[in-house]
Amino acid sequence: MKVAIIGGGAAGFFSAFSVKNHHTGAQIVMFEKTAKLLSKVKVSGGGRCNVTHDCQNNRQMSANYPRGAKCMRRALEQFNVGDTIEWFAQCGVELKTEEDGRMFPTTNSSQTIIDCFLSQAENQGIQIRMSCPVKSLKQDGEQWVLVTDKGEERFDRVIVATGGSPKYSGFEWLEKLGHVISRPVPSLFTFNIPKDPITNLMGVAVPNAVVRVVSTKHAYQGPLLITHWGLSGPAVLKTSAFAALDLAACDYQFECSVNWLGTMKEHELRVLLETQIPSLLKRKVYNRNPLNLPARLWEFLLQKVELSEERTWGELGSKQLNRLVNVLTNDAYSVRGKTTFKEEFVTAGGVSLESINHSTLESKSAPGLYFVGEVLNIDGVTGGFNFQAAWTTGYIAGQLN
């Protein structure tokens, strides 16, 4: 069997390994259009490579995919997080788990993963052709004809691992083969809040906040980071992923609110403050923060509700208390644009899941053609979920069922 893999990224390599595992004698040729392999692996996790997330429950794991959750839940039954950990261990790569569940190689270097993949590819006799874009792909009987600058070549099976594309035009060649394309829009981006004074707090982080897109159902929890352009951190990135389609529809001009105290409700905060205030009557509000918020953020929020620096807790009237409670649990901001999260470009969109067999990832309209990774309309939140989707879909497609 002769198998072509289009794309030299994470999903492409892992599908090649799966093909070799399930079809030992298969001849595999990987086509990479650029002069670099595994470029996304290189930059992931700040150069450490966030290999996966330590979530061993498939139902809980699949809930981290804004698009494709149902498909991923089924797919994880074939190859899950435990399988990923075991696969890397067998290759001599040990993974470690951080407090938030993200998993990295113990070396803290993405080069460890790259070296592992290149070594495996060489040992398994996988041919890699770099700077070799596929110009066209067409079916001829039971075979596939790939056209590159070097001419035509025939294959029995083809696995498409070309990743996401920011433009619809990047998927037109697959649409022509009979596949429905979900229009791509950005996912995993930070919120720009130009000229808002909060940007002066860049670098301040809150361990647990809830970010809500006003007038929608989108509200997500996690660490939040204030940057020189606006808001970032896992809470914002998760919101951007799940709200990706709605935010694209309004051209990233929207209102958001922040609960700086996580899931604490207004009435809960009132009860907390009312129990704390009697012991703080003579203390200045600016000097005594009973909520353990970062000092710079606490001062900023007090200034926002126009509290005097000399005001003590005992002098706090009901109107001022109401304003303080509101800004702590429902702080409002006008978002005007987005910024891609570091180099980790992720899109919502791609080959629609209605176009493929979920059990095999084979095309319904073009037998012998398979899809893996971000070329599919499957995307996860930040934290190792997109790489797990690459490993899982690569493993499944590589069975060539």
Residue 98: pLDDT over 70:
yes
Residues 33 and 136 in one domain: yes
Q: Give me the mean pLDDT over the 148-161 stretch.
A: 97
Which helix (H) or strand (E) segment is 230 a member of?
strand 230-232
Supply the pLDDT for residue 343: 53
Distance separating alpha carbons of residues 213 and 211, to the nearest angstrom: 7
Q: Please provide the distance, in angstroms rounded to a whole number, between the alpha carbons at the two ends of the chain.
A: 13
At a CB cut-off of 8 Å and minimum separation 6, what does 277 contact? 313, 314, 316
Residues 140, 212: one domain?
no
pLDDT at 342: 58
Gap between the Cα atoms of 265 and 335, Å rounded: 24
How do residues 32-53 score in pLDDT, each as one tens digit? 999 999 999 999 988 999 999 9
Predicted pLDDT of residue 346: 86
Task: Summarize pLDDT for 124-146 with one digit per residue, the tens.
Answer: 999 999 999 999 999 999 999 99
Question: Does pLDDT of 75 surpass 80?
Answer: yes
Q: What is the pLDDT of residue 351?
A: 98
pLDDT the model gives residue 340: 79
Q: What is the mean pLDDT of residues 352-364?
A: 98
In this prediction, what percent of the chain has a pLDDT beyond 90?
95
Determine the average pLDDT of the residues in 86-109. Answer: 97
**Which domain, by its residues, includes 284?**
189-340
The whole-angstrom separation of Cα 38 and Cα 32 is 10
Residues 6 and 136 in one domain: yes
Instruction: Give the C-alpha separation, 320 to 341, whole Å.
Output: 37
Same domain, yes or no: 351 and 372 = yes
Q: Where are the alpha helices (DSSP H) in 201-360?
A: 234-242, 244-249, 266-276, 295-304, 318-329
- Same domain for 240 and 358? no
Look at the chain and report how many structural domains it folds into: 2
CATH number at residue 320: 2.40.30.10
pLDDT at 103: 98
Pairwise CA distance, residues 320 & 125, whole Å: 71
Strands 189-192 and 230-232: antiparallel
Claim to verify: residue 208 and residue 164 sit in the same structural domain: no
pLDDT, tens digit (0-9, with 9 covering 90-100), for 167-222: 999 999 999 999 999 999 999 999 999 999 999 999 999 999 999 999 999 999 99
**164 and 46 within one domain:** yes
Q: Are residues 263 and 125 in the same domain?
A: no
In a shared domain, residues 29 and 97: yes
Indicate if 107 and 237 belong to the same structural domain. Answer: no
79 to each of 58, 75, 162, how far by Cα in Å? 10, 7, 21
Higher-scoring residue by pLDDT: 346, 337: 337
Query: Which of 316, 340, 364 is a domain's end point?
Result: 340
Write the CATH number for 127: 3.50.50.60
Tens of pLDDT, residue by residue over 313-344, are 999 999 999 999 999 999 999 999 999 765 55
What's this model's pTM, rounded to 2 decimal places? Answer: 0.92
Mean local confidence (pLDDT), 228-242 = 96
Check whether residue 30 and residue 154 sit in a common domain.
Answer: yes
Is residue 29 located within the same domain as residue 150?
A: yes
